[in-house]
Copies of this chain bind each other. A is one copy, B any other.
Amino acid sequence: MAKGNVQLLGSWVSPYSNRVQMVLNLKSVDYEFIEENFYSNKSERLLKANPVHKKIPVLIHDEKPICESLVIIQYIDDVWTENGPSILPSDPYDRAIARFWAAYIDDKWFPCIWVILLSDGADAKKTAALEEFNKGLALLEDAFIKCSKGQKFFGGDKIGYLDIALGCFLGLVRLIQKMDNISLIDESKSPNLFKWAQHFSDDDAIKVVIPETEKLLEFAKVFVAQVKASGINK
């Protein structure tokens, strides 16, 4: 449903950008996707829209920019209230728990993925990151059991805020599984998250957003080499 002019400055490879695309799709919001170069040679449009962080994603709604993916998806939920149920749980405590885990994922869990992706071979840094990643996964497996209350998603019978906060990283998780020939979300260790990942990826609003692993692999070969050459991951 149209409600003003909506543009998203993003990138198909960015999980944070994917996060916003997923919520726009779930809420059936029409928008123009503007692919940005997120790593170098950033556009004037992006620098003007997000002068503080100079990062995607930026949602531009009626010419007003909103930055930071979790802030953006909350904004979409606040504005398009008529386009389906809220992505946040209706109970204040459940809402707090969803927000807590979303912050945990961004602050503690995702940085491990980044280290794993950029590490060469099985060095100590990578081993430590894998350990932290798995610790986080065990916490999230437990959180899923509590939040989902026996249903398919963290949000219960429908995809919600925490599903999106975590699920946007599935593309990168699959990329690492492919690159390193390992199983990160393993059916035996994380049976609930394993099933959740399948249900989540099968949703019509989601599956068009998660990058295909082969396409991501092609991109990653060039990108990871660039980052390593720049020394930014040291």
User: What is A's interface to B at a CB cutoff of 8 Å?
Assistant: 52, 61, 64, 66-68, 70-72, 74-75, 78-79, 92-93, 95-97, 99-100, 103-104, 139
B-side contacts of A139, CB under 8 Å: 52
Tell me whether A75 and B52 are in contact in the complex, defined as CB-CB below 8 angstroms, given that A67-B100, A100-B68, A103-B68 are known contacts.
no
B-side contacts of A92, CB under 8 Å: 75, 78-79
A5 to chain B, nearest CB (A): 14
Of B61, B68, B93, which one neighbours A66 at CB under 8 angstroms? B93
Nearest B residue to A61 via CB reads B93
B-side contacts of A67, CB under 8 Å: 100
Q: How many copies does the complex hold?
A: 2
A96 vs B79: C-alpha distance when bound (angstroms): 11
Asked if residues B71 and A93 are in contact (CB atoms below 8 Å), the reply is: no
Asked if residues B93 and A75 are in contact (CB atoms below 8 Å), the reply is: yes
Asked if residues A71 and B99 are in contact (CB atoms below 8 Å), the reply is: yes
Return the 7 tightest CB-CB contacts between A and B, nearest first: A78-B92, A75-B96, A71-B99, A66-B96, A79-B92, A71-B100, A71-B96
Nearest B residue to A75 via CB reads B96
List 16 extra interface pairs beyond A75-B95, A78-B95, CB under 8 A. A52-B104, A61-B93, A64-B93, A66-B93, A66-B96, A67-B100, A68-B99, A68-B103, A71-B96, A71-B99, A71-B100, A74-B99, A75-B96, A78-B92, A78-B96, A79-B92
Asked if residues A71 and B104 are in contact (CB atoms below 8 Å), the reply is: no
B-side contacts of A61, CB under 8 Å: 93
B-side contacts of A104, CB under 8 Å: 52
A73 to chain B, nearest CB (A): 10
Asked if residues A103 and B66 are in contact (CB atoms below 8 Å), the reply is: no
A141 to chain B, nearest CB (A): 13
Most buried by B among A72, A75, A78, A100: A100
B-side contacts of A71, CB under 8 Å: 96, 99-100, 103
